[in-house]
Amino acid sequence: MRLNATIAGVGMTPFGKHLDRGLKSIGAEAVEAALADAGIEASQLEAAWVGNAAAGLITGQECIRGQVVLRSIGIGRIPVINVENACASASTALHQASAMVTAGLYDMVLALGVEKLYHEDKRKSFSAFSGAVDVEAMQAIMEGLRKNAESGGAKQAGSGAGQKRSMFMDIYAMAARSHMQRYGTTVEQFAAISAKNSFHGSMNPRAQFRQALSVEQVLAEPMIAEPLTRPMCSPIGDGAAAVVIVSEKKAREMGISNPVRVISSVLRSGWDHGGDEPGTADVCSAEAYEEAGIGPEDLSVVECHDASAPAEVMAYEALGLCGKGEGGKLVESGATRLGGRLPVNTSGGLLRKGHPVGATGIAQIVELTEQLQGRSGDRQVEGARIGLAHNGGGNIGPDAAAMCVTILTR
């Protein structure tokens, strides 16, 4: 279904380590900023979708996460739908909110993503990621990661997954080693992703890390899981992002002069498929392009799920930005850097902006909305008209457990 929903306002907190703040404080900041940006009062909202992935594990808040956050700023009475879908929680909330507005059930709604991942006990933070796989198959998964690392001579990746780091870094590292072996992708090309995104993030006041790094500096950092050094791995974080979504009719009534519309949002779960068959990102992006009536050549700017540097390389290929196996060459060419043909992750991406998992999907939408409205300052992509967000979450078998691809236009 082609969507027809307008983004009336966006808001976002800086991403980072906020041990002294709770979900309510962080969520409220983003919501209040989005309401102010839209020029509306909270009482005008008709429904809200709230994405969160890990509060139950990190803070103990279960069941009514969205209601608790919104009630703290006086938002009640309206339907509040809690959305938990791994790292795709926020994009799923946006997808559902946009679909309901398009269907005519509501004229003005809120989509919020909020997360706290930092905890004094790091093992508790890492446990949030360990729950994003099939836990009944955990022993087999860990054994598979260990054997793959050993067969590839990856000493660091052979132990510590889920204890010293998110086990997803080992999953990404395994995929990276496979990509290198199959296509000749180099570790320098992966490092180029981190360097590019660090350059973009250095200009983003809401990014968790603001230091620009060279390829050489990325490669010199401590090894996490071969071939991933620390800057090639997204950090955990705390943060929130929110959008106010309105119908076409309401947008006209509000006199929105520079509207950004959600014209396509495709959400799918993974399935068991062969290694050479199209995966979730391939299928979602193809369907999103068809719904929007565009192709990858029409895009102005992309925010993709670079939970690791290799993940961005592979996203290029899945989104049709280049051919299979050509992602490394694409970043090396400079095409995806600001000033290039198609800038990717102008926010700094998950690698530098940070990755509070339940907030990430809407944070991408905030970045794209501001880009399409010409509000991104030093990071502005000149003449940006169409943006794409790619946000995945969890892992089962050969693919992501959840995937959402959203296309915005001005």
Residue type (1 letter), 190: F
The label of the residue with tokens 């020029």 reads 39
Question: Do the beta carbons of residue 366 and residue 30 sit within 8 Å?
Answer: no
The C-alpha atoms of residue 149 and residue 154 are separated, in whole angstroms, by: 5
355 is catalytic: yes
Helix, strand, coil percent values for the chain (each to nearest 5): 45, 20, 35
Extract the tokens encoding 177: 């080693």
Cα three-residue angle 251-252-256, rounded to 5 degrees: 60
Cis peptide before 14 (omega within 30 of 0): no
273 is catalytic: no
Choosing from 119, 179, 305, 355, which is the catalytic residue?
355
Other beta carbons less than 10 A from residue 140's beta carbon? 10
Choosing from 87, 233, 304, 404, which is the catalytic residue?
87
Tell me the sheet residues that pair with 396.
399
SS3 306: coil
Extract the tokens encoding 364: 């991408």
* Residues labelled as active-site residues: 87, 355
